[in-house]
Structure formats: C-alpha cells, structure tokens
Structure 1
Amino acid sequence: MKLLSESMQILSGHGCFGRYLHKIAGREPTEECHECGAAVDTAQHTLEDCPVWGPERADLIAIVGPDLSLPAVVKSMVDSERSWQAMQIFCEEVMQQKEMAERAREIAPMADQRRRKRARRRRVAHDRRLPP
C-alpha cells in the first residue's frame, strides 16, 4: 500500500514538494527545490526536470516513453502493468529520498519554526472535543 501512496503524491502533487509545502502546508519559506535549487519544486518538476532524479527518470522513460506529462503517464500506467510497476518504482525511490530529506530538515537544530513537525496536533484537537 505504501507504493500506492507514493505514486499518489506524484500524481496529485501533494507530498514533499516545495510548492505544496510552501503554499498548502505552510511549512516552507519558498517553493524552491531542495535537490537542484530550481525556483519551483512541483511533482511535475520532480517527474520531468529535476536533474537529481535523472537515473530514476531514465529507467522510467525506458518503459513508459519520453512523454512524462501527467496525462501520458496515467495513460501508460492504465495501458500496461509494466508501466504501472515502473511508475511505482520511480515514485518509491524518489519520494522516499525526498521524505527522508524533509524529515532531516524538520529536526535540524536551526530549522525554521514553520518547518518543525507539529506533533500530535490532530490528537490534541480531538482530545479537547471529548467530554470531561
């Protein structure tokens, strides 16, 4: 099931991407790509452009083809089990590395307060709603 969630992060754009962490989660001061320094880090940037993921991308392109636009990738995944698996492997490898780097930034001693992990926020809010 973990592979599916990592694929969904790339397909939906909700994951350890600079744009998402900045605009949606409010945990990054900018949309910058931590891996290559590009001004904006999106799922599409990770999938198509970021030079850090070149080897993983080459393996993916060998199976799904050179068009890594979202419609083309989804079509390829639906048309072929081999393409589906190639996309899952790409997502697993890349997202695990991006998530590990994000966790390291969260716990860094000099981390911006916005970036720090907000532990148990949901649990605390839930507990406040419980009757005494």
Structure 2
Amino acid sequence: MTVKWKERLAEPTAGLRTVEAVRPVLEAWMDRRHGSLTFRMAQVLSGHGCFGKYLCRIAGREPTTQCHHCSCDVDTAQHTLEECPAWDSQRRVLVAAVGPDLSLPAVVKAMVGSDRSWKGVKSFCEEVISQKEAAEREREKSSDLPIRSRKTGRRRRAPHAHLLPP
C-alpha cells in the first residue's frame, strides 16, 4: 500500500502544501502507533476549512480572503498556525509540544515523531478551528449577503475520491 501512496504523491495535481509536508515522512506516518486524524486537524493540514482564502476562493462564502481575527489580508491555514495573533496563547502550547518551527513539514514531522506532539497539534486544531467555525456561523447568521449562506441540498460525491489508494 505504501508503494501506491508514494506513486500518487510523486506527481500530485492538488494539495501540494500537504503533499510536500507528508511525503518525506510517509512511511513513518503510516507506521506510527499513535494519534488519529480529526476533521479539524485535516482542515489545518489541507488548508480547506474556516480560512479566508478557502472560504473566498474555493467555497465562495466570503467576499474577501481577509482574516476576521486580525488585520491580515490573506487568512490561510499557515497564517492561523504560525502568525495570527488571535491564537497566540494556543500557539505557545503548540510550540511547547512541537518546537518553534511551525512550517507544515516541521509540524507533520513532529506529529509523526511523538504522541505528545500529535496531541499538541490536535489540541491546537480543535480549539482554534472550533472558535473559527463559531465565528463563521455568527457571520452567516448576522449577514444578509447571499455569498455567506451555506449551500443546502443533496451532498456531492467526494471530489477527491479518485485520489484514495485502491
């Protein structure tokens, strides 16, 4: 199975940020005996979640890419992880668990390396993303902009199902 994943990650067509972080530790990731990935951790690793850039450019639910928690023009998963002052206290706990390098490759390597680091990343993601989700829901409720409303109706087929190994 590792061979199939390596083949798929050798020439990625999407998710380059995540692929570049996981590829160097793929075997260790798959062989680790600790941690399971949560929905909110996946959002931070993939950049698909409550981030201004994603909500504006991909989901189409925000008029701009700005961070609603600071004055940054482009809110990304990396901005949330490494820079946004709104999450300084959570980030201090994260740095104590994984070290000062919060680049995605360093964070993923630390996660794979120890249960303590995995739990530190999980704690950061769960706390911060849940707060970002709550803020997004409040913006949706208090806004009359149609762009901010969630689309309802039938669920679409997972767009990246073809990327899963057989």
Deviations 1:4-31 (A, max 9, x none): 1100000000000000001101111100
Please tell me the residue identity of whatever aligns with 2:127. E
Q: Considering only aligned residues, what root-mean-square deviation do their CA atoms show, in Å? A: 1.8
Q: Is the Cα–Cα contact under 8 Å of residues 47 and 57 in structure 1 kept in the other structure?
A: yes
Q: Equivalent residue for 2:161?
A: none
Is 2:10 aligned against 1:10? no
Measured against aligned partners, the alpha-carbon deviations of 1:22-53 in whole angstroms (never above 9, x if no partner) come to 11011111000000021000000000000000
**What TM-score, normalized to structure 2?**
0.70
Q: Distance in 2 between matches of 1:75 and 1:4?
A: 17
1:27 and 2:61 matched: yes
* 1:86 aligned onto 2:120: yes
Query: Retained in 2: the 8 A contact 1:18–1:32?
Result: yes
Task: Give the aligned partner of residue 80 of structure 2.
Answer: 46
Q: Kindly state the Cα deviation for residue 100 of structure 1 after the two structures are TM-superposed.
A: 0.4
Partner of 1:98: 132
Q: Tell me the TM-score normalized by structure 1.
A: 0.87
AA aligned opposite 2:117: S
Q: Deviations over 1:101-126 (max 9, x none)?
A: 00111111x33110012222x26x8x
Equivalent residue, structure 2, for 1:130:
none
Q: Could you tell me the percent identity over the aligned residues?
A: 59
Secondary structure of the 2:146 match is: coil
Which structure 1 residue ranges, 5 or more long, are not aligned? 126-132
Deviation at 1:63, TM superposition (A): 1.2
Structure-2 separation of matches of 1:18 and 1:37: 12
Any stretches of 5+ residues in structure 2 without a counterpart?
A: 1-35, 157-166
Question: Is the 1:3–1:91 contact (alpha carbons within 8 Å) kept by the matching residues of 2?
Answer: no
Deviation by residue 1:40-78 (Cα, 9 ceiling, x = unmatched): 000000000000000000000011000000000000000
